[in-house]
Amino acid sequence: MSGLQAKLMKLFTRPRLLYVSPWLLAAATGLLVLIVVTFALSNIRREKQLMTTSMLQKAATLMRVLHSGSRAAYLSDLRRGGWLSDSWEVYVQRVIDHVAEDPDIRFLGVVDEHGRVIAWSDKKLTGSTISFVRPPAPTSQSENQSSLVFEIVGMGEERVFEAVRPFTPYRPIIPPSPFKQHSGQNFSPDSKRYYVVVGLDMRDYDQTLRRLRFQILMMSLAMLMVGTGGWLSLAAVQGYRVSQRTLQEIQAFTSLLIARLPVGIIATDSKGRVSTWNQAAAAMIGREERETKDKRPGDVLPRELASFFCREVRDGHCASQVRQDGEIRLRINDKEVVLFCSRIMIFDNENRYTGQVLLLTDLTMLKMLEQEMRENERLAAVGRMAAGVAHEVRNPLSSVKGLALLLKGKFREGSREKETADLLIKEVERMNRTISELLSFARPMPPQTRPVDLQELLAKIMRLMEHDITSSGIEATFEAPDGLKTVAGDPDRLQQVFINIFLNAVQAMPDGGNLSVRAETGDDGATVQVTVRDTGCGMDSATLQQVFYPYFTTKDQGTGIGLAISQKIMADHGGTIQIRSVPGQGTEVIVELPVFSG
């Protein structure tokens, strides 16, 4: 089963990329939205900067036109001979009147540092005071000409782009006449600071910006839709791959499961031909799958099995009376096999008939165990009855033995009567020993567990058996490592087990042989293992299966209860006893006992 589990784990180990977390999907979607929004805002910001720069350039151009135009008008008057020219405010106002005709100009004018209007596109405001944003104080003449500031005032449709730059009136080429000072027409600039103020209409700017925002919004939505569509397409493709992979894994898992199930599976398709034949079915019936593929059950199955399949199906039901399940007995490869069969009709999701499945369960071993259990129950009942009988027989035996001893004392030595009395005493003692063994097996006493030095116990038993071993011409060896761990057990009961094993080994070699006894610690360190091996006659498999049955024996003088008692004693000690034997080669008995844990 571990191999099957390893294959299943390998089968269901997918790459991590096949699993996408919902949080990962949300993060990817959020990242896509963030990229699109960043792109849109960046485009809008860049376009606003470009448009603002354009309006600044337009405002700067108007300011240069105002400055250059007023100077050009002054020079034009000089060329026409107008030596008594007007003040610079008049020339500035002329240029403003001409330039302010542009519909994009909301206002244009020159103010002093206190906000008093010197010249304005709306002459009604001349002399009034307005508020405006002032550029920082210049530190040089070049900086005075380049210091330009702007702000956007107003709301909605009334927004105005207001730009302000310092304005330096031109110096007159002809010095003023000293006789004309009273007229106030002085071309020399005073010490005041002047600023040119330009107000541009932002309706076109706002309209262009709205159109741009709409275009960017549409483009962003298109990008978002394309990205989302690509992501959904990728997810769909990925989902398709996952579903295909999952389907393949399910099919592989189903095939592996069907092949490894201990239940035989024989399936037919809708046409009644064999489509599935797993390994268990092949082992039970003795035919491989390649011999049965696409054939009808009646052509490849024994008649008893083929009778479970419906030959004709109408509306999902058998057209004839066919049993659905039952137990059958078959003779396969000269062995009787007991099978439990169960037939299932298979339908798809649309309730259409797709075939039949016959499930086979091998009950052969179960039937053998049932029979063995019944036999054990019968033997147990016989044992209990025999124990009761033995107990009742034991009391009269004491009287018989006492009478025999009394008679023996009345006969002279060497007489036939005395020999008969001795024989009677021996037979009574033998019967008494048999009854004692019978009672010991039927009503065992719990072992008195304590630490047992197994090396010392085995050496003691070898000394006790030395006469029997040497008299039979047997060469015996005993091996045990120094420091062998002690075991938990009852010394008297364990001695009884090993004496039974040694006696069986000696009796199996009447013409001599080799007897080896080896004690060692188990691989896990929790047990001690004793192996007793002889080179006697050995046993066949049939005999080996019955050696632990009570009263089973192959000896003329045996009682058949020694190994049964030994097995019971080992079970009471939490140990095991196993026997391996080959006819003509000898027998090996392996006894395993738990180490004493203190």
Given this model, what pLDDT does residue 265 score? 86
Tell me how far apart the alpha carbons of residues 114 and 110 are, in angstroms, rounded to a whole number.
Answer: 11
Q: Which tokens in the block code for residue 495?
A: 């001695």
User: Any bridge partners for residue 590, and if so which?
Assistant: 531, 578
531's enclosing H/E stretch is strand 527-534
Say if strands 117-120 and 450-452 run parallel, antiparallel, or are unpaired: unpaired
pLDDT for 441 beyond 80: no
Given this model, what pLDDT does residue 137 score? 65
Share of the chain above pLDDT 90, in %: 9
Give pLDDT tens digits for 3-33. 544 544 454 444 444 455 667 667 777 787 7
Residue 213 to residues 1, 40, 180, 190, Cα–Cα distance (Å): 68, 8, 61, 49
Tell me how far apart the alpha carbons of residues 367 and 361 are, in angstroms, rounded to a whole number.
Answer: 12
Given this model, what pLDDT does residue 197 score? 92
Q: Which tokens in the block code for residue 400?
A: 């018989």
Query: Sorting pLDDT into bands at 50, 70 and 90, what band is 382?
Result: low
Burial class of residue 296 in the structure, from the number of CB atoms within 10 Å of its CB (0-12 exposed, 13-18 middle, 19+ buried) = middle
Query: Sorting pLDDT into bands at 50, 70 and 90, what band is 110?
Result: very high
What's the one-letter identity of residue 415? S
pLDDT for 178 beyond 60: no
Least confident of 135-139, 255-259, 545-549: 135-139
Question: Which residues, at least 6 apart from 530, have a Cβ–Cβ distance to it below 8 Å?
Answer: 454, 458, 498, 517, 518, 519, 590, 591, 592, 593
529 φ/ψ angles, rounded to the nearest 5 degrees: -115, 130
Strand, coil or helix: 529: strand
Q: Count each helix (H run) and each strand (E run) in the chain, helices first.
A: 15, 19
Least confident of 19-23, 88-92, 563-567: 19-23
Given this model, what pLDDT does residue 334 score? 76
Q: Are 168 and 145 in contact (CB under 8 A)?
A: yes
Q: Are 506 and 498 in contact (CB under 8 A)?
A: no
User: Any bridge partners for residue 344, and if so which?
Assistant: 357
* Pairwise pLDDT comparison (400 vs 59), residue with the higher score: 59
| Rg of the chain, C-alpha, whole Å | 59
pTM confidence score: 0.40
pLDDT for 518 beyond 90: yes
DSSP assignment string, 546-586:
TTTSTT--SSSS--S-HHHHHHHHHHHTT-EEEEEEETTTE
Query: Sorting pLDDT into bands at 50, 70 and 90, what band is 102?
Result: confident
Phi/psi-derived region of residue 187, left when phi > 0, alpha when psi is between -120 and 50, beta in every other case: alpha
Give pLDDT tens digits for 204-232. 888 888 888 888 888 878 877 887 777 77
| CA-closest candidate to residue 105, choices 71, 146, 70, 62 | 62
198's enclosing H/E stretch is strand 194-201
